[in-house]
Structure 1
């Protein structure tokens, strides 16, 4: 039986293209810098066309230099920063255990949650008259209003983090012999940490947002106080200096919290 022998096929040229190297993503700081430059450019254009007497970046920078040279800007920044830090720290320190209680114990949830939800519907600024009557016009009412804003923002996030823990993880830990204390410490707390840190970031923003109104209470220094004084004399550059300083300080504190979040939740999948 003859065997059909076919000539070997010659291999043609390789038509497969080499895989193109992946495109390098533009670093995030570059986009941040571009956003700042664009913002300054738009601000300059609006100031040049005379939008409602808007001061330009140069006028604001000159005024910031004047306030920095005589020490006013530093003193006001330190006073406001001290109030925000104390109020935010006290609010977060109380919000975390209260949120854990509400999320872990149904009895505590039933007793505490109505009050939390009630006070959440009341703007912290509306408490200022009551705080003045009960606490006077010193530092206590200012810090209390900031504390209340930070607490209400953080406690809800902490509570949501506890109740959102996957029941499968809790049941698996119990099957392995873990008691309630171990489950809470090794499962609930780590799983709730991302929610807690997000709540702290929201609470920090609420604390800074409440600062200006809190410094209405017979303050003699502070960024909010300086902005209110500038309003009386229609000193727009000073108002812008206060706004920018608050924004920069708040941004720095938020970046610090974000860095802590990445360090404490390194196990979490990120995009």
Structure 2
């Protein structure tokens, strides 16, 4: 049996167990609807178009906030890792802000930006920027300076040094950090939508809870998990393509 087949068997088994414990009454079907009811809810939400609209709203917010986090976190991580005087000024402040949970920023985000898209973008950015920063900083600090000095002695300019000496080894650390950052950003956007948005999967879950449509709540959770899984798969494939030389060495 292949790995994919075992994965499918595991998923089917878990769904069958879930369906069975609800069917025999171990769990109240109102509190936790069975997979069959959740599947029907997903179909209904797809038919009326609301699920697609909310999912696209959440994706738009997480992609925007994550992209900004990659740029800011990457630049700050590179600058603090490469230029020690800059690190002496900036790193203590960054490290003091980094432990603050993204959820703690929600009251300020609402005060600063009101209710709508902006708080969600901001919270995704806050959640994602620090993993990118730490990954980039660690990657730059881990680069062998002997290779850098050798490249400089051979006449490498700033762009060639950055592209051929710094970026390739750094990607092996930066990309896993970006995957973590995207996962955190996805969690942050859904949380923000529970409180300060008029659309999105978090908003769908909150409205369904208020209407006691528990099957829609669970349906929204299932879609959140599915989209998060898909985003992680996409990031893994991008990582393999960009780091193919490193994977080749490992496999060899």
Q: Which stretch shifts more, 166-175 or 33-42?
A: 166-175
More helix per residue: 1 or 2?
2
Structure 1 match to 2:17: 42
Indicate whether 1:79 and 2:57 are aligned: yes
2:238 to 260, 263, 266: 260
Indicate whether 1:150 and 2:128 are aligned: yes
Q: Which stretch shifts more, 232-241 or 145-154?
A: 232-241
Indicate whether 1:138 and 2:130 are aligned: no
Report the Cα distance in structure 2 between the residues aligned to 1:47 and 1:111, rounded to whole angstroms. Answer: 58
**Secondary structure, counterpart of 1:169 in structure 2:** helix
Structure 2 match to 1:5: none
Please, which runs of 5 or more residues in structure 2 have no aligned partner?
A: none
Indicate whether 1:270 and 2:250 are aligned: yes
Q: Which stretch shifts more, 129-138 or 83-92?
A: 129-138
CA distance change for structure 1 residues 107 and 35 in 2, over 3 Å: closer, same or farther? farther
- State whether residues 132 and 217 of structure 1, in contact with CA within 8 Å, keep that contact through their aligned partners in structure 2: no
Report the Cα distance in structure 1 between the residues aligned to 2:107 and 2:67, rounded to whole angstroms. Answer: 23
**Secondary structure, counterpart of 2:245 in structure 1:** coil
| Deviation (angstroms), 1:209 | 0.9
TM-score by length of 2: 0.89
Indicate whether 1:247 and 2:222 are aligned: no
1:10-37: CA deviation from partner (whole Å, max 9, x where unpaired): xxxxxxxxxxxxxxxx543233323322
1:115-160: CA deviation from partner (whole Å, max 9, x where unpaired): 2212221111111111111222232122111111111121111111
CA distance change for structure 1 residues 48 and 116 in 2, over 3 Å: closer, same or farther? farther
Indicate whether 1:126 and 2:126 are aligned: no
- State whether residues 119 and 196 of structure 2, in contact with CA within 8 Å, keep that contact through their aligned partners in structure 1: no
Q: Which stretch shifts more, 58-67 or 115-124?
A: 115-124
TM-score by length of 1: 0.84
Counterparts of residues 53-202 of structure 1 (less than 5 Å)? 53-178=31-156, 182-202=160-180
Report the Cα distance in structure 1 between the residues aligned to 2:167 and 2:86, rounded to whole angstroms. Answer: 18
Report the Cα distance in structure 2 between the residues aligned to 1:137 and 1:103, rounded to whole angstroms. Answer: 37
| Deviation (angstroms), 1:174 | 4.1
Report the Cα distance in structure 2 between the residues aligned to 1:166 and 1:121, rounded to whole angstroms. Answer: 29
Indicate whether 1:32 and 2:7 are aligned: yes
Report the Cα distance in structure 2 between the residues aligned to 1:261 and 1:218, rounded to whole angstroms. Answer: 33
CA distance change for structure 1 residues 220 and 193 in 2, over 3 Å: closer, same or farther? same
Report the Cα distance in structure 2 between the residues aligned to 1:173 and 1:45, rounded to whole angstroms. Answer: 64
Report the Cα distance in structure 1 between the residues aligned to 2:111 and 2:72, rounded to whole angstroms. Answer: 24
Structure 2 match to 1:23: none
| Deviation (angstroms), 1:169 | 2.8
Report the Cα distance in structure 2 between the residues aligned to 1:214 and 1:46, rounded to whole angstroms. Answer: 33
**Secondary structure, counterpart of 2:237 in structure 1:** helix
Report the aligned-residue RMSD.
1.9
| Deviation (angstroms), 1:62 | 0.8
